[in-house]
Amino acid sequence: MLCEDKPAHECGVFAIVAPELDVARLTFFGLYALQHRGQESAGIAVANGRAIRYHKAMGLVSQVFNEENLRPLAGYVAIGHTRYSTTGSSKLENAQPFVVESALGPLAVGHNGNLTNAATLRRELLLRGVGLTGSSDSEVITQMLAGGEGRTWEEKLKVFMVRAQGAYCLTVLTRDAVFGVRDPLGLHPLCVGRLGERNWLLASESCAFGPIGAEFVRAVEPGEIVMLTEEGPQTLAHMPTARPAECLFEYIYFARPDSMLHGRTLHAMRVAQGRELARESPAEADLVIPVPDSATPAAIGYAQGSGLPYSEGLIKNRYIGRTFIQPDDQLRKVGISLKFNALGDNLVDKRVVLIDDSIVRGNTSGPIVRLLREAGAREVHVRVSSPPIRHPCFLGVDMATYPELIAYRLTIDEICKHLGADSLAYLSLEGLIRACRHEGDTFCKGCFSGRYPVDVELVDKEVFEIK
C-alpha cells in the first residue's frame, strides 16, 4: 500500500436546521466539502420532529450516498459525518453518526476528536450494563448522553462536558433539534453558518458553507454548547478553560486553505509560514517548488520571502489516494512515481528548494528527493514549514507512534542524510506561531514539544477491539 507521510486527518462534522429545504441533500454537499477530513466512512441522520432516519456506510461521501438512499431521509434537521479513525478501527460498526433510542427519544451523534479518558468512561458504561457494538470513543459519547444524568438534553450535555477529557467537537441530533458542542480547550474547529434568513448550520470548517450558498457567521467558542433553531444559534452554556489549546496542525495541514480561522484564511497563514521559513532558513538555489498540494501556499511564501522564483517541479496524481485497489508488488516498486511525476524541463541542472509542510515518518520524502535528482536537479534543499514532529498526538490526530516518528529517532543532520538532501531545515515553533498570529499563544504543541494541554494515555487506537 502506498503510504502518505502525513498526519492522518480527523473527522468532519456537519449539521443543518432548514424547515423548507432538503436537508439530507444539503448535508451531502456539506460533507463533500469536508471530505479531506476523513475518507473511511460517511453518514447522514435526519429528524422530522418524531423520529430519526439515517444511512451510513464505508467509503467516500460520493460512494456512500445516491439518489435512492438520500430520498428516504426526509425531515428538517440533519447531521452528517465523514470519518478518519483515531480511536476504533475502520469498520462499519464505528461509522457515524451513532443513532440510539433513549428515555428522551431518539439521539444521533457525530464526533470529531479523541477523548483521553475514553478507557475509564467505557469501563463505567460496561459496569452499568450498557452494551457497546463498536470500539470507538464516539460510541462511548453517544451512550453517555443517552443514559447520563439530566432531565433535558441541555443538562445531559453539561454533565458530559464535566466528565469528558480531551478533544471533541460534537453535532448532536434529537427528534426536533440539533446541538453543537466544542471542548473547553477548543482543540479542533467548529463554526456556525447561515443560509438565507431561517436556515442555520454547523460545520468543522467554513469551507463547507460556500458550496451550498451559505455564509460563515462565527466560530463556536471553546467550551460552548450551542443549539440551532430557526431563530438562530442559542448559547446554552459556556465552559471554557483558562487557557485554550488549538491544534496547530489545523493551521499547518488539516483545514482546507479556503477555510477561515480567526478572521484569516488558512492559505494566508500558510503563505506566512513560508515567509518565516525563508527568513529563518535561506538557501542558495535557483527555484522553489512545493510538494503538492498541501505545501503550495508555504512554497509561495518561501519564494516571496527569499526572492527566488516559484515553479512547479512535481505533478500529483490526485486520485491515487482515493482508490481502494491497492498496487501489486511490481507497482509498489515504482513507489512514489505512482503519486508524483517530475517536470524535468523545470529541474534540469537547477538547485531546488523543495518545500513540504511536514515530515512524519520520512517514507516519502526520500523518494521524492531521488525523483527530483533523477529528473535532473543538481541540488535539492528540503525546507519544512513546521517544526520536527517528535511526539504522537492523543487528541484526535493519527500522527504515528514514537518508533515511527523519524524526528524522534534521528537528529536533523541524520534525517537530511536519510533523505539524500543537500540540506534540511524546519520552521521553528516560534516562527510557526508568529505566522499563525492572533490574540495570544493559545495552541496545543504536544506533537512538537511533548507537553500536552491535558493528561494523556499512551494507547493504541484499536485498544477497544475484540481480538
d(CA 291, CA 233): 40
The stretch 77-88 carries a mean pLDDT of 80
pTM: 0.91
Is 329 assigned a ligand-binding role in the annotation?
no
Reply yes or no on whether the pLDDT at 344 is more than 80: yes
183 is in an annotated binding site: no
- Pick the catalytic residue from 11, 169, 191, 436: 11
Q: Is the pLDDT score of 162 beyond 80?
A: yes
Asked if 194 and 218 count as a contact pair (C-beta separation under 8 A), the reply is no
pLDDT of residue 320: 67
pLDDT of 1: 38
Mean pLDDT of the region 359-365: 92
User: 135: pLDDT confidence band, cut at 50, 70 and 90?
Assistant: confident
**β-pairing, 379-384 with 287-290?**
unpaired
On the question of pLDDT at 3 being above 60, the answer is no
Is the bond preceding residue 293 a cis peptide, omega within 30 degrees?
A: yes
Confidence of residue 464 (pLDDT cuts 50, 70, 90): low
Residues 80-86: what's their mean pLDDT?
81
Give yes or no for residue 385 having a pLDDT over 50: yes
* Dihedral class, residue 166 (left if φ above 0, else alpha if ψ from -120 to 50, else beta): left
Cell readout for 117 is: 479518558
393 is in an annotated binding site: yes
Residues of the chain above pLDDT 70, percent: 90
* Residue-level pLDDT at 400: 80
Return the pLDDT at 10.
67
Stretch 244-255: mean pLDDT, rounded? 93
What does DSSP say about strands 379-384 and 351-356: parallel, antiparallel, or unpaired?
Answer: parallel
Is residue 312 over pLDDT 70?
Answer: yes
pLDDT mean over 439-446: 81
Average pLDDT, the chain: 91
The mean pLDDT of 426-435, rounded to a whole number, is 96
Whether the per-residue pLDDT at 181 is higher than 60: the answer is yes
For residue 332, pLDDT beyond 80? no
Determine if residue 357 is labeled as part of a ligand binding site. Answer: yes
Q: Is 281 known to sit in a ligand binding site? A: no
Residue 259 assigned as binding residue: no
- pLDDT tens across 92-132, in order? 888 999 999 999 999 999 999 999 999 999 999 999 999 99
Lowest mean pLDDT, pick from 85-89, 98-102, 284-288, 316-320: 85-89
Across 24-52, average pLDDT: 96
**CB proximity list for 261: less than 8 A, separation 6 or greater:** 189, 219, 250, 251, 255, 269
Instruction: Note the pLDDT of residue 352.
Output: 98
Over residues 54-75, the pLDDT tens digits come to 999 999 999 999 999 999 999 9
Cβ partners under 8 Å of residue 412, min gap 6:
388, 424, 425, 426
| 247 in a known ligand binding site | yes
For the cut 70, the answer to whether the pLDDT of residue 11 exceeds it is yes
Active site residue 436: no
Domains defined for the chain, CATH in brackets:
11-243 (3.60.20.10), 263-437 (3.40.50.2020)
More confident residue, 400 or 178: 178
- Each residue's pLDDT tens digit, 199-246: 999 999 999 999 999 999 999 999 999 999 888 899 999 998 888 899
Going edge to edge, which strands form the sheet with 98-102? Answer: 98-102, 105-115, 166-173, 178-182, 224-229, 232-238
